[in-house]
Chains A and B, each alone.
Chain A
């Protein structure tokens, strides 16, 4: 079946613009994670959803970052007033169960803020 998909794959934003990044998890997966991967770094945790509930947002770097998963399926990561330091690959992962499920990663969205 289809894996985790993310859109857009590439996004260029001017500093100060708002962006929205979409994640379609594997159907039926309960858990959904967002990670930020800066150049030359490993992925860093941003936030976690169990169904529609956002159980952990401790990794969001500022209040400009907001994530939602209103119906427990598709998730959107929104970044307001983008800054250059927001340039990174944003990865989404889903997992069928908690807490031992394997995470399946999407291809990522590469965000470049100019």
Chain B
């Protein structure tokens, strides 16, 4: 049973560029959440997708946007990259968007903005 997968593994961009990160949820899961983890910090919630709609959003600017496809996979887009966007971006999937459900994390995409 494949777990959560993310691509690419690493990415280097320059300030002002745009980036797209991809996530495939665990088999049977239809809810995808995205988190940003800065070095030495805990993950910070960006947003969650369920039934192809953004259901919840954390305290992130509109430069961060996403999408969920009919097969439940998801993309995270970040526009006008800033140096402070350098972080590990984690995708987590769950069976349903409820607080009692386990979220399983993927290996993450390490984004470096120069």
* Chain A bound to chain B: no
